[in-house]
């Protein structure tokens, strides 16, 4: 039995318990029960789909001011305060019949992960004066394929009036030949020349897709990296590239921006649905509007969207509505007298994009499947 059918049974039971209470619209009362149950189910689904047992505790944490993060929020119209017209979901909700077509296609489900550098839990934090930077990824993330990966580092501005080039390279940390031997570094074939402008610093990025692909395939080999800069020092004798994780409370610590994908096949399907407004007197199976507001859940770990249109299904599915279909007697055989008949449930659902903190406090951009009801039907 589907989740939506179970919600309907619970709603019916609640309706029977309140049968003595006068109500101008029993179907409206049932829909209100379904709305509340749907919100509770969505709350559980979000955590389950993200592989979390409980919501991350974001007490005392603030949203970092990072270039790709700002770009994401702007690109997808997912500002921290999302206006109603920017909410995700199907096309604008309009009551009446709904006919949709789907086409054969391969859809890449893309995620963007922003991982912050941290000290390695087992290795020394530095090697020969070089800071070892470690990036932790969850099992869910490393199961995907790396499409693109960029390492972002902050370059301090130069006090010198003359611009000087800085060579920034990435060194991969490898295991020693024995457990007692110190780790070794091997040059990675990414190199970028940076010319700081005046006294103001800037963020620069290096392509590290091949390195991240290796880490995702062999997570045990992820021992971190070292960022090496060759060039002039600043007035305090520091390297112009920031690698100290504690400097200025980590505001300028290096971070990774990783794009991943998981290809899935979608088959062609054509179905017809029905949309209804909340005060409709329609008794047949229909799709109704439902707004999910994450701020009402108290979920400050979801950066965007703050709310989205989820919709829900409600209505009756008596056998008389199925008589126009051939082989209806088979339905009766599958649902003999005294058992639950056809249930009004989602027939098509779609994903929402989400920007959130995971349990490692990395920032993830990804797609959550099956979060928006696009069409309802009897099943």
> For 194-249, what is each residue's pLDDT tens digit?
665 566 778 888 899 999 999 999 998 888 888 888 777 766 777 778 887 777 66
Residue 281: phi and psi, rounded to 5, are -100, 15
State yes or no: pLDDT of 4 exceeds 80: no
pLDDT of amino acid 91: 55
CB 138 within 8 A of CB 359: yes
Average pLDDT, the chain: 75
Torsion, CA 158, CA 163, CA 165, CA 166, rounded to 10: 0
3-state secondary structure at position 287: strand
10 Å Cβ neighbour count for 265?
8
Angle of helix 3-17 relative to helix 26-49, nearest 10 degrees, comes to: 140
Give 243's contacts (C-beta < 8 A, 6+ positions apart).
Answer: 130, 131, 133, 153, 227, 254
Query: Mean of the pLDDT values across residues 135-153?
Result: 90
CB 268 within 8 A of CB 156: no
* pLDDT band per the 50, 70, 90 thresholds, residue 191: low
pLDDT tens digit sequence for 78-130: 543 333 333 454 456 666 665 554 543 444 466 889 999 888 777 665 556 67
289 vs 238, higher pLDDT:
289
State yes or no: pLDDT of 306 exceeds 80: yes
Domains in the chain: ranges and CATH: 3-101+275-360+371-378 (2.10.90.10), 110-263 (2.60.120.970)
Q: Is the pTM of this model over 0.85?
A: no
Most distant pair of Cα atoms in the chain: their distance: 88
pLDDT tens digit sequence for 21-44: 434 456 677 888 888 999 999 999
What is the distance between the alpha carbons of residues 191 and 229, in angstroms, rounded to a whole number? 10
What is the distance between the alpha carbons of residues 150 and 115, in angstroms, rounded to a whole number? 11
């Amino acid at each position: 039995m589907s989740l939506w059918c179970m919600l309907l049974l619970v709603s019916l039971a609640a309706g029977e318990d309140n049968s003595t209470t006068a109500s101008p619209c029993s179907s409206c009362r049932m829909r209100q029960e379904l709305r509340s149950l749907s919100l509770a189910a969505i709350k559980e689904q979000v955590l389950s789909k993200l592989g979390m047992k409980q919501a991350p505790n974001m007490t005392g944490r603030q949203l970092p001011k990072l270039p790709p993060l700002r770009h994401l929020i702007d690109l997808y119209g997912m500002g921290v305060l999302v206006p109603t017209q920017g909410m995700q979901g199907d096309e604008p909700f309009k009551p009446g019949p709904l006919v949709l077509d789907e086409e054969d296609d391969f859809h890449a489900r893309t995620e963007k992960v922003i991982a912050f550098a941290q000290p390695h839990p087992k290795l020394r934090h530095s090697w020969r004066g070089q800071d070892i930077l470690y990036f932790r990824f969850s099992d869910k993330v490393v199961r995907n394929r790396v499409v693109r990966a960029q390492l972002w580092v902050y370059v301090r501005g130069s006090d010198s009036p003359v611009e000087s080039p800085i060579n920034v390279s990435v060194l991969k940390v490898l295991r020693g030949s024995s457990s007692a031997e110190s780790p070794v570094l091997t040059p990675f074939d990414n190199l970028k020349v940076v010319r700081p402008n005046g006294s103001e610093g800037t963020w620069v990025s290096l392509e590290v897709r091949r390195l991240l692909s290796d880490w995702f395939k062999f997570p045990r080999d992820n021992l971190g990296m070292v960022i090496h800069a060759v060039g002039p020092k600043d007035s305090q004798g520091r390297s112009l590239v920031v690698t100290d994780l504690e400097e200025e409370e980590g505001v300028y610590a290096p971070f990774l921006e990783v794009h991943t994908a998981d290809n899935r096949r979608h088959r062609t399907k054509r179905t017809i649905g029905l949309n209804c407004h909340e005060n409709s007197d329609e008794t047949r199976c229909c799709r109704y509007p439902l707004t999910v507001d994450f701020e009402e859940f108290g979920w400050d770990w979801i950066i965007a969207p703050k709310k989205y249109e989820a919709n829900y299904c409600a209505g009756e599915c008596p056998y008389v509505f199925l008589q126009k279909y051939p082989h209806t007697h088979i339905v009766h055989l599958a649902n003999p007298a005294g058992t639950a008949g056809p249930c009004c449930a989602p027939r098509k659902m779609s994903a929402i994009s989400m920007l959130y903190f995971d349990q490692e406090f990395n920032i993830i951009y990804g797609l959550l499947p099956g979060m928006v009801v696009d069409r309802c039907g009897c099943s």
